[in-house]
Amino acid sequence: MDFISGEIIGIDKPLGWTSFDAVKRIRGAIQRRLNVKKFKVGHAGTLDPLATGVLIICTGRSTRDIERLQNGTKEYVATIRLGATTPSFDLETDIDAEYPFDHITEDMVRDVLPRFTGHIMQVPPVYSAVKIDGKRAYKYARKGAEVELKAKPLVIEKLEMLPSQLPELRLRIVCSKGTYIRALTRDIGKALGSGAHLTALCRTRVGDIMLDDCLTVDQAVEKISACEISYPDDFKLNAKE
């Protein structure tokens, strides 16, 4: 593997890990393999700790491709609980309100979903990394401060209902960069005359990289530790890279 010219590694991020946790583990394995104290490693597209699935990790000169890679189409499988909300619209925070859901049928869900496909405007959740006056929105939210976020344009290419047992709802979502699945969950709950929050989220694709192509963190570390190392032709000229 040529970590200096750049490798693009698809990782299946574990539940509870931050994206930085995964990067740190991979960077450490590469630093040990190359016997260096510093090495450039980054990721293309953050996943929340409560989400799993495709996380693209770039090494060396491939970190220059991060912006291009994170602009790729994303695909998710989301598990949603109807009838209750949380302030973060996922399991990071406790349920703050409950709503009726007995009136919701699968046909009703299928009728509502087309409202959220195509070019839409979406207000990000307050528990998000969107900046307000230079400060992340979630920092305001965690202190109980009220914040107002502006709607942003995005594209949801496909929104498909998977086999579900209501009030649990499972969706397959194909969308553009910048889509908040937690915000989509919030809006679908409202459209159904109820509330909703996300209970599980798996990113199954980023661009051309599929979940089935990804390694676990342990598999990636093992591969890095055992691989044959190669170097670019101009390595000596860029030995500090």
In the block, residue with structure tokens 């089935």 = 212
Q: How far apart are the first and last CA of the chain?
A: 16
What does the alpha-carbon distance between residue 103 and residue 161 come to, in Å, rounded to a whole number?
Answer: 18
- What amino acid positions are annotated as catalytic residues? 48
What does the alpha-carbon distance between residue 145 and residue 156 come to, in Å, rounded to a whole number?
Answer: 30
* 205 strand-pairing partners: 75, 210
* Cβ within 8 Å of residue 198, ≥6 positions away: 50, 78, 79, 80, 81, 89, 90, 91, 181, 182, 185
What does the alpha-carbon distance between residue 11 and residue 24 come to, in Å, rounded to a whole number?
Answer: 13
Residue type, 149: L
225: left (phi over 0), alpha (psi -120 to 50) or beta: alpha
* Cis peptide, bond prior to residue 167, ω within 30 of zero: yes
Q: Which 3 state secondary structure label does DSSP give 26?
A: helix
What does the alpha-carbon distance between residue 38 and residue 31 come to, in Å, rounded to a whole number?
Answer: 7
